[in-house]
Amino acid sequence: MFESIKLEKEFKERLDKHYDELKWLYSELYHNDQQAFDYFLCMLHQYYEERDPDLREWDEARELVPDWYRGNEMLGMQMYVNCFNKTLKGVKEKIPYLKETGSNYIHLMPLLESPKGRSDGGYAVSDFRRVQPELGTMEDLKELAEECHRNGMSVCMDFVMNHTSEDHEWARRARNGEREYQDRYFFYDNWDIPNRFEKTVPQVFPTTAPGNFTWCEAVHKVVMTTFYPYQWDLNYRNPVVFNDMTANMLNLCNHGVDVIRLDATPYIWKELGTSCRNLPQVHTLVRIMRMASEIVCPGTLLLGEVVMEPSKVVPYFGTIEKPECHMLYNVTTMASTWHTVATQDVRLMKHQLGQVFALPKQYVFLNYLRCHDDIGWGLDYNYLKQFGVEEVSHKKFLNEYFCGAHYGLDSRGELYNNDPRLGDARLCGTTASLCGIEAAEYERNDWKLDIGIRLDIMLHAFLLTQSGIPIIYSGDEIGQLNDYTYHEDPEKWDDSRYLHRGAFKWDEVAARKSPAKRQGRIYKALRKLEKLRSKHIVFESGADCWIVETYNDHILGIGRYFHGEKMIGLFNFSTQDETAWINEEEKYIDLMTNKRREAKAVGIPARDFVWLIAKC
């Protein structure tokens, strides 16, 4: 009885903290629908009551240290369950390996039930309450999360909120003619309104899935399908959709998921006559979801997937007073990194990082070199224009470079969603293969291999120098190469993203102990970098960061300062040895050699880096 009273008091206190704003935003969005709002509050109470006592303890601990995820010890690893070790139980068995890599945050790629051959890699969910049978069960997910928590690790999962599979129960009932369920999507009796949408709404996949609508023969109507014909866009104008989808999210939280990745966040509100991207109502929805999580499961984080230019990304943090997402992907820096590899010119990177460094330190980015997706060349072409760079020809140059299209180019990537008409395409490939390691091993060229491995390690050092949470795609820690077997799979052959989504090479893991092999050289170097990062307070997200002028367009310089530690990171993107013309007065130690080194006219080998640190 006492425990019940205590819980009711806690829920009321959390709700009271947000109630006025919650009701105001909800009523504005859904036209004072009191019944829907009352249902929403009852739903929040239900999931609060159902939350496991152990998870409540996690909530309490994280509320005491609200910036727990901003430290320099955070390190993530992203994986597909089936690729990593077949099932959720298989992932659980490999927690010792994950701990050995230093990972304390694992991102499980989509694993909820989705139809074979029409899933877009798991992003067409047919049941938000069931795991894909071959991967396990919801109970397996819960047990994996519990084991991760016992080992001090957090779990992230994708929450696909823009659409459902056409096989979802709501979609099946909509196809059967039930108006209530058709209202959960965007159905139109003819092409008049869809054609008006098409005038202003860009296409996501113009070659593989052109258009934003699909004819539904079962009901002789048109349905909105922004991504693929088998992914039906949800109508968030309908409060029933928002209530039920929020419940689906909270159900994942109550199964132990610590970080909810909000997939395709900018797309979730549709308005005729607009691009249907980044509309103000999207921010209202995300803000309400943030408050819902703080009421039910305050230890949970929201990670926004916003693959847009920086001016569109930053607003998803919300404000300091009214926050939205806890974290956002640093997509622009990732794309700019590979641009810099190809051009060997750091000026765009300096410009872009200068914008990031100017943001409030409370804003936490999730930083990465590679992920499950393709690399899109959404660069700042207005800035590049001053150097004579033209967008279409530059994208062509970048793609040819990373596909090894010409003699002397050693990157091994493949194009995704190539549209020759627009001169546009995106890029796929593992970090190691894009760095030239695959080509070097094929040619048995030790000199090229050294350069490729050095570039791979330098890029990871740059990743770890950035503020925020670094996340490594599973396999990159051992330099895993492209997997070309997808070409022979009828369910995958037309999606080149499977090039870097290959099965984890457990037979290569033993080689991580060998200092002579690619796996060992990369693994040992990354572990050293990660340990140094966790040891030095200057890598905390709260550090002051700035661009260090190197007077060399091939070398990127980054300065960091926090609580008496000053760090200078220098990254040579050139294929030639270069000098960073800096002149810092403090007495520095080279972190990689642990020897004293002056921060004056620092020479750096091709594709290499220097970490210098001083006590101030």
pLDDT over 80 at 282, yes or no: yes
Q: What is the pLDDT of residue 8?
A: 87
Q: Are 135 and 90 in contact (CB under 8 A)?
A: no
Tokens 């005491």 found at: 64
Averaged pLDDT, 75-101: 97
Q: What is the pLDDT of residue 7?
A: 73
Is 448 in the same domain as 507? Answer: yes
Q: What is the pLDDT of residue 418?
A: 84
Angle 2-29/34-50 helices, nearest 10 degrees? 150
Q: How confident is the model at residue 208 (pLDDT cuts 50, 70, 90)?
A: confident
At residue 94, the 3 state secondary structure works out as: coil
Tokens 């303890």 found at: 57
Is 456 in the same domain as 585? Answer: no
Residue 472 burial (CB count, 10 A):
25
Q: Are 497 and 110 in contact (CB under 8 A)?
A: no
Range of the domain at 174: 169-233
d(CA 35, CA 86) in angstroms, rounded, equals 44
Is 531 in the same domain as 550? Answer: no
Q: Which of 412, 379, 407 is nearest to 395 (CA)?
A: 379
What pTM was computed for the model? Answer: 0.94
Averaged pLDDT, 187-216: 93
Q: Which of 233, 256, 283 is the last residue of a domain?
A: 233
Q: Which of 191, 213, 233 is the last residue of a domain?
A: 233
Is 375 in the same domain as 495? Answer: yes
pLDDT over 70 at 75, yes or no: yes
Q: What is the pLDDT of residue 36?
A: 98
Q: How confident is the model at residue 224 (pLDDT cuts 50, 70, 90)?
A: very high
Q: What are the backbone angles phi and psi of residue 475, rounded to the nearest 5°?
A: 110, -30
d(CA 364, CA 361) in angstroms, rounded, equals 7
Is residue 401 in some structural domain? yes
CATH, residue 559: 2.60.40.1180
Averaged pLDDT, 550-557: 98
Is 305 among the residues known to form the active site?
yes
DSSP structural state of residue 442 = H
Is 549 among the residues known to form the active site?
no
Averaged pLDDT, 199-228: 93
Is residue 203 in some structural domain? yes
Q: Which of 316, 432, 420 is nearest to 370 (CA)?
A: 432
Q: Among the options 166, 263, 294, 530, which is catalytic?
A: 263
The per-residue pLDDT for range 429-449, each reduced to its tens digit, is: 999 999 999 999 999 999 999
Tokens 């610590």 found at: 258
Q: What is the pLDDT of residue 1?
A: 52
Q: What is the pLDDT of residue 528?
A: 98
First-residue to last-residue Cα distance in the chain = 56
Residue 177 burial (CB count, 10 A):
11
Q: How many domains does the chain have?
A: 3
Q: What is the pLDDT of residue 324?
A: 97
Q: What is the pLDDT of residue 207?
A: 76
pLDDT over 60 at 201, yes or no: yes
Averaged pLDDT, 360-368: 93
pLDDT over 70 at 573, yes or no: yes
Is 550 in the same domain as 582? Answer: yes
Least confident of 32-36, 308-312, 423-427: 308-312
Is 371 in the same domain as 475? Answer: yes
Is 495 in the same domain as 417? Answer: yes
Is 552 in the same domain as 415? Answer: no
Beta strands 127-131 and 112-113, pairing class: antiparallel
Is 469 in the same domain as 399? Answer: yes
Q: How far is CA 97 from CA 250, 450, 503, in A?
A: 29, 26, 16
Q: What are the backbone angles phi and psi of residue 607, rounded to the nearest 5°?
A: 55, 35
Contacts of 491 (CB under 8 A, 6+ apart): 116, 117
Q: What is the pLDDT of residue 421?
A: 66
CATH, residue 479: 3.20.20.80
Q: What is the pLDDT of residue 229?
A: 96
The tokens for 460 are 């990871």
Averaged pLDDT, 288-305: 97
Q: What is the pLDDT of residue 356?
A: 92
Q: Among the options 158, 233, 305, 483, which is catalytic?
A: 305
Q: Which of 179, 213, 233 is the last residue of a domain?
A: 233
Q: What is the pLDDT of residue 99?
A: 97
Is residue 440 in some structural domain? yes
